[in-house]
């Protein structure tokens, strides 16, 4: 049997996002969190509770709601800054402001590094100018520290085999740097076909990347600073934006998508999709505070 099968891909509910992004699996609650950036919403789905979905209002341009080391307290990344989010009470505790050197941008990609720090990117909301950057923020920091400037649409954050991987979507390239190189000063470029968006990582070092506008996921093998494309999975959405593994054994692949920019969106465009696989994903990182 193949590792994945396009015939098994289904929407999880009726919600259709303008810009669905940053799916994160919470193993403690067996639920999936993701955001609709343009509609300012956090969505949460419990697969084993009859598909229950909850929707919370978020600040403008919330691009991620991530796990922390405290149950039911999450980390939100928005144009308002970085904050802890008490889910039950829908209450924010600000940690820092949005970067002062990121004027005229919005946040985009975000993930928790193996050391428990937040990494996130910024971008031109119109995706036309290379004014985006990568930042790092750890507990106790006064403000985010800029790691790399001059980005168009920075996407994907994964750490594997001693390297950190990211993409610049509109430069049609992946990049990697030694994980210890937090200045991202020693980059290796890997040009790819299409527009690489968000990605998931398996325990065996396979990167599953959403290709915006191409209705597919592309699977690559990572080894040190090297990347090799393996195969692709067709999708019933035109603009897949990211993916992650979830479920009790981290073998269910969840895929976010977007309707933004489509003149005539199809019935599934903007849906959260899921499919069972024979792959096993890496657990999501937790912000340590």
**Residue 33 pLDDT exceeds 90:** yes
Q: Which residues, 6+ apart, have CB-to-CB distance to 116 below 8 Å?
A: 69, 138, 139, 285, 286, 287, 288
Alpha-helical runs (H) found in 93-197: none
Long-range contacts of 183-190 (CB under 8 A, 24+ apart): 183/147, 183/148, 184/134, 184/147, 184/148, 188/225, 190/227
Enter the tokens of residue 225. Answer: 């600073």
According to the model, what pLDDT value does residue 4 have?
85
pLDDT at residue 7, as a whole number: 74
> What phi and psi, each to the nearest 5 degrees, are found at residue 223?
-150, 110
Q: How many CB atoms lie within 10 A of CB 265?
A: 18
Mean pLDDT, rounded, of the chain: 96
Q: Rounded distance, CA 264 to CA 286, Å?
A: 38
Q: Which residue has the tokens 């692709």?
A: 232
The distance of Cα 129 from the centroid of its chain, to the nearest Å, equals 21
pLDDT of residue 141: 97
Domains of the chain, first to last = 6-287 (2.120.10.30)
Whether the per-residue pLDDT at 1 is higher than 50: the answer is no
pLDDT at position 147 is 96
Mean pLDDT within 43-51: 94
Sheet with strand 188-191: strands edge to edge: 154-160, 163-168, 173-178, 188-191
203: confidence class by pLDDT, cuts 50, 70, 90: very high
pLDDT exceeds 90 at position 116: yes
pLDDT per position as a tens digit, 142-182 = 999 999 999 999 999 999 999 999 999 999 999 999 998 88
Q: What is the pLDDT of residues 66-110, one digit of tens each?
A: 999 999 999 999 999 999 999 999 999 999 999 999 999 999 999
pLDDT of amino acid 51: 87
Beta strands in 87-235 (DSSP E): 91-96, 106-112, 118-123, 132-137, 145-151, 154-160, 163-168, 173-178, 188-191, 195-201, 206-212, 216-223, 226-234
The tens digit of pLDDT for each residue in 271-287 reads 999 999 999 999 999 99
Residues 24 and 21: their CA atoms lie apart, in Å, by 9
Residue carrying the six token digits 């699996």: 25
Let me know if 109 is exposed, middle or buried by CB neighbors in 10 A (0-12, 13-18, 19+): buried
- Give the per-residue pLDDT at 225: 96
Is the pLDDT assigned to residue 5 strictly greater than 90? no
Q: Is the pLDDT of residue 50 over 60?
A: yes
In the chain, % of residues over pLDDT 70: 99
Residue 258 pLDDT greater than 90, yes or no: yes
pLDDT at 112: 98
Residues 6+ apart with CB under 8 A from 180: none
pLDDT at 259 > cutoff 90: yes
């Amino acid at each position: 049997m193949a590792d994945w099968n396009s015939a098994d891909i289904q929407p999880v509910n009726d919600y259709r996002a303008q810009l669905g992004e940053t799916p994160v699996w919470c193993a403690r609650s067996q639920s999936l969190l993701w955001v609709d950036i343009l509609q300012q919403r956090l969505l949460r789905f419990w697969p084993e509770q009859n598909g229950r979905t909850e929707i919370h209002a978020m600040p403008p341009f919330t691009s991620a709601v991530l796990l922390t080391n405290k149950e039911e307290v999450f980390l939100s990344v928005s144009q308002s800054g970085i904050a802890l989010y008490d889910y039950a009470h829908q209450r924010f505790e600000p940690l820092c402001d949005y970067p002062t050197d990121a004027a005229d941008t919005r946040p985009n990609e975000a993930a928790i590094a193996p050391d428990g720090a937040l990494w996130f990117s910024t971008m031109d909301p119109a995706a036309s100018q290379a004014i985006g950057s990568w930042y790092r923020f750890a507990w106790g920091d006064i403000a985010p520290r800029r790691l790399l400037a001059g980005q168009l649409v920075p996407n994907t954050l994964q750490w594997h085999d001693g390297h950190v991987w990211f993409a610049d979507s509109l430069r049609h390239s992946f990049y990697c740097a030694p994980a210890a190189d937090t200045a991202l000063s020693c980059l290796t470029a890997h040009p790819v076909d299409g527009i690489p968006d968000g990605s998931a990582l398996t325990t065996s070092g396979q990167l599953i990347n959403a290709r915006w506008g191409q209705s597919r996921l592309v699977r690559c093998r990572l080894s040190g600073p090297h990347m090799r494309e393996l195969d692709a999975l067709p999708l019933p959405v035109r603009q897949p934006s990211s993916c992650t593994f979830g479920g009790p054994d981290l073998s269910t692949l969840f895929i976010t998508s977007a309707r933004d920019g489509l003149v005539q969106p199809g019935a599934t465009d903007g849906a959260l999709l899921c499919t069972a696989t024979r792959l096993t994903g890496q657990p999501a990182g937790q912000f340590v505070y």
